[in-house]
């Protein structure tokens, strides 16, 4: 049946204007979805899917709002498939609904090593979150939700290893690479330690990155720069926080992620300073702030649990 006819049938059913035969067809169709078991998901994953479903439904059929809330989110999945067309609907939502995910997160100052069941290893930096499919034998698509991670990937030509990080998608077969994609930092970087990767996602992409190359994407203006990888690219794995000409805002975000301290200033000159330094992440937070300030000829004081940097 054509998509337009399906939509008309569905709208008539929603408005109570369908014939007995038409209503019966819709009910039979719904029963097929009611009989389909859904994968186990925790409450956070269910809420995420509900919000995504509603975001796709709402622009297409406003009159359906009460129906979705009362019929339950499982039937809403079916409605999205109907309204979007079987092919497009499945592409947008079917895969995510059918995949069981595990979410890993690190607190500020914490780092974690995750051994995947395909033999790959993920090292998660401080203040980071990643979502990993439970079954990597069928698909190896991970989502770096926030933060930084190092990936040492086991080769499997039949199942490419893909990492989604905000606006960019990195695809590899077997290699090791680092992605820094903190949501609050204005740049997103991907650096290759061994092998090569393909990075896609924007008009200026894709790019093929090889050994010791790094791509930096600017969230503010969409510009992409490829250059030799910073020698300190994975310094965080050895317990070092490395700043290489970063702005005040990004420095503040990374100091909080690594040391759990909030840094602020009231002086425009300090806010416009670019920061370059290296700090051991096992250093006492107050000491780390003092060292950072001293290197840039600044001073530090604590006011109401906030670390203030000034001239």
Give mean pLDDT, residues 269-284: 95
Give mean pLDDT, residues 17-36: 62
- Give the whole-number percent of the chain exceeding pLDDT 90: 57
pLDDT tens-digit profile of 173-197?
789 999 999 999 999 999 999 999 9
Q: Residue 149: pLDDT above 80?
A: yes
Per-residue confidence (pLDDT) for residue 305, from 0 to 100 = 75
Give mean pLDDT, residues 253-265: 95
| Average pLDDT over all residues of the chain | 81
Instruction: Find the largest Cα–Cα distance for the chain.
Output: 80
Per-residue confidence (pLDDT) for residue 67, from 0 to 100 = 40
The reported pTM is: 0.67
The residue that leads in pLDDT, 98 or 154, is 154
pLDDT tens-digit profile of 59-114?
444 443 334 444 444 454 555 444 444 444 444 444 444 468 899 999 999 999 99
Q: Residue 288: pLDDT above 70?
A: yes
**CB neighbour list of residue 95: distance below 8 Å, 6 or more residues apart:** none
The residue that leads in pLDDT, 140 or 68, is 140
Q: Which of 71-75, 250-254, 272-276, 300-304 has the lowest mean pLDDT?
A: 71-75
Per-residue confidence (pLDDT) for residue 280, from 0 to 100 = 96
Q: Which domains does the chain have, with CATH numbers?
A: 3-98 (no CATH), 101-228 (2.60.120.1440), 239-310 (3.30.1370.120)
Give mean pLDDT, residues 7-16: 64
């Amino acid at each position: 049946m054509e998509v337009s006819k399906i939509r008309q049938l569905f709208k008539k059913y929603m408005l109570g204007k369908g014939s007995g035969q038409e209503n019966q067809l819709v009910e039979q169709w719904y029963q097929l979805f009611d009989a389909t078991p859904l994968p186990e998901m925790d409450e956070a994953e269910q809420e995420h899917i509900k919000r995504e479903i509603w975001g796709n439904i709402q622009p297409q059929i406003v009159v359906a709002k009460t129906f979705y809330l009362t019929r339950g989110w499982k039937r809403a999945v079916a409605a999205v498939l109907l309204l979007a067309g079987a092919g497009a609907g499945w592409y947008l939502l079917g895969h995510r609904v059918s995949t069981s995910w595990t979410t890993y997160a690190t607190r500020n100052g914490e780092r974690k090593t995750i051994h995947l069941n395909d033999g790959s290893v993920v090292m998660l930096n401080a203040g980071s979150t990643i979502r990993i499919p439970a079954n990597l034998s069928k698909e190896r698509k991970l989502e770096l939700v926030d933060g930084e991670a190092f990936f040492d990937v086991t080769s499997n030509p039949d199942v490419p290893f893909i990492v989604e990080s905000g606006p960019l998608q990195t695809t590899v077969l077997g290699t090791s690479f680092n992605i820094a994609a903190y949501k609050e930092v204005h740049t997103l970087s991907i650096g290759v330690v061994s092998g090569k990767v393909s990075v896609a996602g924007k008009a200026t992409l894709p790019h093929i990155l090889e050994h010791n190359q790094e791509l930096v994407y600017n969230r503010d203006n969409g510009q992409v720069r490829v250059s030799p990888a910073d020698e300190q690219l994975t310094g965080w794995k050895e317990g070092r926080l490395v700043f290489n000409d970063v702005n005040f805002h990004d420095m503040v975000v990374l100091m909080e992620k690594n040391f759990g301290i909030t840094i602020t200033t009231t002086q425009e000159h300090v806010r416009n300073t670019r920061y370059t330094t290296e700090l051991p992440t096992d250093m006492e937070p107050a000491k780390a702030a003092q060292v950072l300030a001293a290197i840039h000829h600044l001073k530090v004081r604590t006011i109401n649990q906030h670390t203030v940097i000034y001239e």
